[in-house]
Every structure is written in structure tokens, then in C-alpha cells.
A and B are shown apart, each in its own frame.
Chain A
Amino acid sequence: MKSRIIIGLFLCVALAQVVTPLSMIATRESVIKNGAQFKFKTAPIDPYDAFRGRYVALQIEGDYVPTVMGVKLTHGESVYALIDIDSEGFAKFTSVLTKRPREKPYMQAKVRHISGDKVYLDLPIDRYYMEEKSAPIAERIYRRHTQRNRQDAYVVVRIKDGFAVIENLFVGGQKIEDAVKKERKS
């Protein structure tokens, strides 16, 4: 009898253990399928995460907005960053709201710090995972590009209801994975 209860409880725990990763997958798959696509200019650099593998950290260009008059923001506070598209087709943050916006595209973010008249944002698109040997090569490719004054790295992000999922990272007009493959061959 007692062992039946334990097994029953174990099955509940096991269910929770399976449902958690499944729901993580489901949310992101739905964003990738139905979310609107944006391109953010970025600078990839290469740190390391022992558990989840190797990634390039993404330094999004213009990860700040002007401070809003009359709104007091604190470090770590959740905000909604409004997005506009510039003439070149890249996404830019224009301002932040503390309440969920109705119409305009936006991304959920956190306040990193406030300096002068700028509010810097902690964006949920701060890393792009790569195969362990690829990450350093990706960073090298990016550096070479920036040296020639072609800062043309950008990340393609899908956003749905403020929830952002990274789709791809592009450097020099091609997917980073393809660029790495070419680099390896040459």
C-alpha cells in the first residue's frame, strides 16, 4: 500500500520533470512559428558556460533607451521595451513602459542600470549557443569583419507577446554556422 502511494507520488514528480522541459520547448516553438521577425545589430564575443555548453555572448547595439520623465525605474525591474524599425530594416528600442503595451511591437526586458539620461536594458537575447569549437571561430570571423569597418553582424529574433527567441546569428550576410564551416575548410 505504502509503496503504491510512493510510486504514485513519484509519477507525479516525474510528470512535472517532463512537463517543465516540454513547456519550455512549446513556448519557444510557438514564438518561432508565429512570432514577428526582427533583426538586431550585435557584437558577438566568446565566453563559456560549463553546464549549458559554449556560446557567443551577444552585445546588442543600442541596448538602451532615453529615461522617461516621471517614471522611476530601479535595477532589475521588469519593463517592456518598444521596438521600431529603422531605414535599414534593423530593429531599435525607442522607449520603455512599465505596463504591457497594446499595439506596438515590444520585448520584455529588465533594467540593468541607469546612467545619466539613459536606461540600459538587460535583454533576453544575450547569448547564442554554438558547438564548442565553433564559438571561438565565430568570434574570430566577427573581429575580422569589424576591423574592416563592416559592422554587419546581426541576430534574427522572433517575438510574440514580448517573448523573444533567437532564430539565427548572421555575420557578413551569412549564417554564422555557414561562415564557420567555410572558415574551417579554408
Chain B
Amino acid sequence: MSALTALALFIGRIGRHSALQPAGPPAERINGLWWLMFWCLTGVFILVLGALALALVSSHRRRLREPATPPAGATDPATERRMTRAVGGAIGLTVILLFVLLVASIATGRSISPLSAPKDALEVEVVGHQWWWQFEYADPDPSRIVSTANELHIPVGRAVKLRLTSRDVIHSFWVPNLNGKMDLIPGRNADTWIQADRPGVYRGQCAEFCGHQHAHMALEVIADPPERFDAWLAAQRQAAPLPASPLAQRGQQVFLSSSCPLCHAVQGTTAGSGVGPDLTHVASRRTLAAGTLPNNRGNLAGWILDPQSIKPGNRMPPTALSPADLEALLAYLESLR
């Protein structure tokens, strides 16, 4: 029952992601271009189909009208001249329309380019991994750099410049309500920017085929009012608190003595690997396994014990734990807020 409730909540909280429901300037400009093109080209489509229908009617009538069929291949010079004018005119109109659309496209392209992002933009580095997202909030002081996974928090109304790269294969960062996509390419950096003018949760998903679990490489952009965002960032800068309850303390021992630290980091402990997502504040996140599961106790347990049946082929191995150890580990992980 609780799983169902969680699911219902989960559904309710996810905003419908769509390129046509822009929530910030870049997506809005693209949306404008879309509707310009949509109406122009729909007009063209109707005109062409209309011309086709007219042509067929005229052609059919001509055949019925004529008692004797003229020799095959015969044409009428007057008709040919009229057709030449019509075709010439149509080509001319096509060229003009295309030119207009080209100009509109280039103008829109300039306005959404990373070069035209506002100068006060927040900077975040996005690193693609098979199959999860790493977000690093830049800071001149390395100890204040925040690293989180699959959940990009941004302040409402402020541009966010994203610097994209990948640790393995090519991925593509795409949150349709906020901007078009940009690839994350190993050995290269690419820039893009997003901005949300309304608070909310905007879903995105990897858009470049990146192997087995390309389908389960989602992310959420959470846009909060600036003060809430600042509070979140401040909280994320903290190392993990020492576990308070004895159960959680035991959980920490389970965590550190099992295979977890081989891939994961928890700031403030000896676990410091960067292979998998940083878990320092894992309990504060809304989803598990890159947007695959709502983050709750049941799903967390299932994910730890048998990640391969939830997301086959992903890099996380199954972990065998006694029920007591699992209980303790869950308590510990849930304390990482």
C-alpha cells in the first residue's frame, strides 16, 4: 500500500516534460520558432495537398471530357506555358519562405547560444556516466565544491551555465522545458545554459544512445526560489553527520566494510571513490538509480540487494546482506540527509 501511495505521489510530483511548455528563456525562444515554423509549414502542406487534389480532379476531368484519347505523349503548348508560370512561381515562393525561416532560425540560435547566457550565471559542471549524471557546483575553494547525482538544483530566475563532459561514452543532456539538448563527449567540453522562471521539477533524460541502460538515465532539475536554493547548497556543502542512533552507527560500519566504498563516497568518512554517485546526502534526493525509482526505504533496499533486476546491465553489483545488516545500512543511508 505504501508503495502505491509513493507511486501516486511520485506521479503527482513529476511535471509533464515537453518542449512546448517552456519554463525559461531559451526554451521559450525555441518554442516561438517552433510555432512560427509550425504555422508556415502547415500552410505549405495544405497548399501542396490542395494543389494535388486540384491536379487530380482536373486531370481526371480532362480524360472523361475527351471522346478520343490523343496520342500518348501529346501536350498542349498553352497549358505548358501556364504550368511553367505556376511552377516557377511556386519555386520562387519556396525560396522566399525558406529565407525567412533561415533568418528566424539563425536569430533564435544566437539567442540560445551559451555565449549569450547572462554573465551572472551560476556554473555547474555536468559529467555523464553510464548510466547516471554527476553535477558539480563550481567553487574557487575545492573543499566547498558540491557533488551530487541525478538531481540538479537551480535557483529560479537565474541563468545556469552548464559545462558538459563525459567520463565514458557520449551522452546528451536534455531537459525539454528548459532548453534543447547538448552532448557530453569524452575528451571534450561543451557549454549550454538553462534557466527556470517558475519553481518546479523539470524532468530530463539522456538523449544520446549510451548503451544498455540508456532508457534509465533520467534526471530532474529542481528549481527553487533563491533562498531555498542557497539553503540547499549550504546543506550540501556539509560533510555527512556522524550517525546518531546505534542502528545507524552499525549501518555505517556495514557500509564501510562492504563493497560500497569501492565505488561511492560519503564525505566525512573514509569512503571517497568517484566511480558511482556521491552518497553524502543521498537521503535528500527524490529518486534512485537516475530517475528510475522513487527514493524510499523499500526501493532503496531492493536496489542494494538486487540492482540488476531493476536496471539490468548497470554497473552496480548486487550485495548480499543479512536482514539485520540491511536494516542497519538502510538506517544509516536514510540518515544521510
Q: Do A and B originate from a single complex?
A: no
Interface residues of A (CB under 8 A from B): none
